[in-house]
Structure 1
Amino acid sequence: MQSLGIDVLFKGNNMLRILGGLWVSVRISIISVLISIVLGLFIGVLMTSRNRVLRAVLRIYLEIVRIMPQMVLLFIVYFGTTRVFGINISAEISAILVFVFWGTAEMGDLVRGSIKSIPVIQYESAYALGLNKFQVYFYVILPQTVRRLIPLSINLVTRMIKTTSLVMMIGMVEVLKVGQQIIEANRKTSPNAAFGIFAVVMLLYFIVCWPISRLAAALEKRWE
């Protein structure tokens, strides 16, 4: 074990620090996803609007999110707002803002695709029953959309959890940052600590993400 550097984890409270750093990543992901789901439902409906200007604006928003690296967005929000606007935003709030900005666009696109995949006959049948446009969306389209979205949104959760590793670049002490701190503190006594620490970090990400991924696959298969 010592040759792999895993023994470092059992010194002092290193393992508890690693788990605490993992919880930071999971917490940011959960908060961001919950907000993104709510906003994404709204944005997704707007993406199906017949208003070309509105659709064009939302398309530009989606493309910005897809093209711009999350790290750049983190730097803009965390460092840029402080310098330009004089607003002091904590690293965690900055991370949540960036992930919500990203997650809302991704969720909105998923909602748009789910709404578009619903057969036209569903709309026609609802209108034939005397429902107005709001009632058609609220009682017929959105329930089906949400059902199709659950597996896809769960996959988004796993992507967010993995991407939260970037927040270490703005000073947040998450699981990778803790790992680096432990490696630096034991550099002389355990020269192979990097292998053991990062192997355990990889395993922890897998333990968190794999059940979520399996749940998404199971729901998708059940609701096909």
Structure 2
Amino acid sequence: MPTSGIELLFEGRNFSRLMLGLWVSVRIALLSMLFSIVLGTGLGLVMNGRSRVGRALSRVYLEFIRIMPPLVLLFLVYFDLTKVAGINLSGEVAAVVVFTLWGTAEMGDLVRGSISSIPAHQYDSARALGMTELELQRHVVLPQAVRRLVPLTVNLTTRMIKTTSLVALIGVVEILKVAQQIIDANRFEYPGAALWIYGAVFFIYFIVCFVISAFSRRLERKWALS
């Protein structure tokens, strides 16, 4: 007798396998975000710098990454880099490289926008008080820029976590790939399982992203009171 498929979630190790797949997705996203924050901050400073060459090159990089679909970048790094440069990368490493390239571009633009949004009179006031450029950046620009960046960075993190589903196409066994494996292995015994398995994946993504967003809102409220 056909069953609904919801019980398949808790049959054997299926749910724990989904959790392991989730950890792969989150690990890729968090590693990529860590590198992206460091590199993107430097890129944002270059984009706001005085060097025309630096600003032009950073703009070219940003537009290239935005135009190029992440999936194409994944294929280029994972498949073509092996052929052209003879570099063998695992699927996870290739994913971290690609998402770091993407995250650095996006983070750089966020940093640029946050710094640019600080009113010019604050720079003038700081200089009038005798602050050096280093003190101005440390005590005036960076504290305000960081507060503006928190919700934007969280949004980028949640986007990156969701976009990691693309890595299944280069053989990385993340949560979506695990879900497909469970469905394919039980498609005759549980013909309606896809609805429940993909529904579970949806709620897992939602819970993870909701927790991250809630932490961001709490941090914003704490800073607002300080």
Report the TM range for the smaller structure's normalisation. over 0.9
C-alpha distance in 1 between matches for 2:219 and 2:7: 40
Match of 2:132 in 1: 132
After superposition, where does 1:152-167 map in structure 2 within 5 Å? 152-167=152-167
Partner of 2:76: 76
Match of 2:189, SS? coil
Which region of structure 1 is more displaced relative to structure 2, 97-106 or 5-14? 5-14
Match of 1:28 in 2: 28
One-letter amino acid of the structure 1 residue matched with residue 137 of structure 2: Y
* Secondary structure in 1 matching 2:12: coil
Q: CA shift at 1:151, angstroms? A: 1.3
Partners of 2:116 and 2:146 in 1: CA distance: 13
Match of residue 183 from structure 1: 183
Q: Give the AA of the match of 2:192.
A: N
Q: Provide the C-alpha distance between the structure 2 equivalents of 1:29 and 1:216, rounded to a whole number of angstroms.
A: 17
Once residues 222 and 20 of structure 2 are traced to their aligned partners in structure 1, the CA distance between those partners, rounded to angstroms, is 35
| One-letter identity of the residue aligned with 2:17 | R
TM-score, normalised relative to structure 2: 0.93
Moved over 6 A (4+): none
Contact 1:155 1:216 in 2 (8 A): no
| Cα distance between partner residues in 1 of 2:45 and 2:222 | 25
Inter-partner Cα distance in structure 1 for 2:195 and 2:219: 36
Distance apart, 1:7 and its partner CA: 1.3
- Which residue does the alignment assign to 1:87? 87
SS in structure 1 of the partner of residue 158 of structure 2: helix
- Partner SS state of residue 4, structure 1: coil
Could you say which residue in structure 2 is the equivalent of 1:97? 97
Please give the residue correspondences for 1:211-222 in structure 2 after superposition, counting only pairs within 5 Å. 211-217=211-217, 219=219
Percent identity between the two aligned chains: 58
Q: Which amino acid aligns with 2:100?
A: V
Question: 1:151 corresponds to which letter in structure 2?
Answer: P
Cα drift, residue 18 of structure 1: 0.5
| Alignment check: 8 A CA contact 1:152 1:216 kept | no
1:119 and 2:102 equivalent? no
Count of equivalent residues: 223
Give the letter for the 1:135 counterpart.
E
Is the CA contact (8 Å cut-off) linking 1:151 and 1:219 kept in structure 2?
no
Unaligned runs of 5+ in 1: none
Give the whole-Å Cα distance in 1 for the aligned partners of 2:201 and 2:208.
Answer: 11
**Which amino acid in 2 is paired with 1:176?**
L
SS of equivalent residue, structure 2 residue 106: helix
CA distance in 1, matches of 2:222, 2:172: 39
Q: Paired residue for 2:149?
A: 149
Please give the secondary structure, in 1, of the residue aligned with 2:187. Answer: coil
Aligned AA (1:143) = P
Q: Which amino acid aligns with 2:148?
A: R
TM-score normalised over the length of structure 1: 0.93
Deviation at 1:167, TM superposition (A): 0.4
Match of 1:194 in 2: 194
Looking at structure 1, the residues matched to 139 and 39 of structure 2 have their Cα atoms a distance apart, in angstroms, of 19
Partner Cα distance (1:108, 1:49) in 2 = 12
Structure 1 position 57, deviation (Å): 1.1
Aligned residue number for residue 38 of structure 1: 38
Aligned-residue offset at 1:134:
2.8
How far did 1:206 drift? 0.5
Shift of 1:64: 1.2
Contact kept? 1:155, 1:212, Cα under 8 Å: no
- Once residues 4 and 209 of structure 2 are traced to their aligned partners in structure 1, the CA distance between those partners, rounded to angstroms, is 24
Question: Residue 8 of structure 1: CA displacement?
Answer: 1.1
